Amino acid sequence: MNKQRFLFAAKISGIHFLLSLTVAALLAGLIFFVWYPFPYQKIMGNFKLFFLISGIDVCCGPLLTFILSNPQKRLKECIIDFSLIIFIQLSAFIYGMYNIYLARPVAVVFELDSIRILSKGDILLDELPQA
């Protein structure tokens, strides 16, 4: 790898890393302050899933960008490469966020002699009118 290609790839992947980190930070605010307020973060334990998804997303996207970046490629090739990287990265992140969304707490219910926290995935909206 020559120096020019390395510097070009480092610059592009650095920008991609900062954008990925910004998106992950914004979504962390949504998750930890809206979907999982204070006691539920520790009780539900789903913040581990967020850190796993964010860590993979923030590392793999810029790494792919670094590998595929080349200043000698035509603009059309670069657009196709980066579009595919962004599509793969967003698809994985959306799937992970959807799973975090389904696991978020929506109700605290007293059941027999204990308190149970119901997540979004536990509630079947089709059967709700029969309750």
Per residue in 84-126, pLDDT (tens digit) is 998 999 898 899 888 888 888 888 888 888 888 888 878 777 7
Strand partners, 114: 111
Tell me which amino acid residue 3 is.
K
**71 touches 4 (CB < 8 A):** yes
Model pTM score: 0.78
Sign of CA pseudo-dihedral 83, 88, 90, 94: positive
Per-residue pLDDT reduced to its tens digit, 36-55: 888 877 777 777 888 888 88
Residue 83 has pLDDT above 90, yes or no: yes
Burial bucket for residue 63 (CB in 10 Å: 0-12, 13-18, 19+): middle
Strand partners, 119: 105
**Average pLDDT value over all residues in the chain:** 86
Q: Please, which pLDDT band fits residue 129 given cuts at 50, 70 and 90?
A: low
**111 touches 99 (CB < 8 A):** no
* CA distances for 116 relative to 32, 38, 47, 104, angstroms: 20, 17, 19, 13
Rounded Cα gap, residues 89 and 98, in angstroms: 14
Helices (H) and strands (E) in the chain, counts: 4, 2
Greater confidence (9 vs 39) lies with: 9
- Residue length of the chain: 131
Mean pLDDT of 47-74: 87
pLDDT of amino acid 119:
82
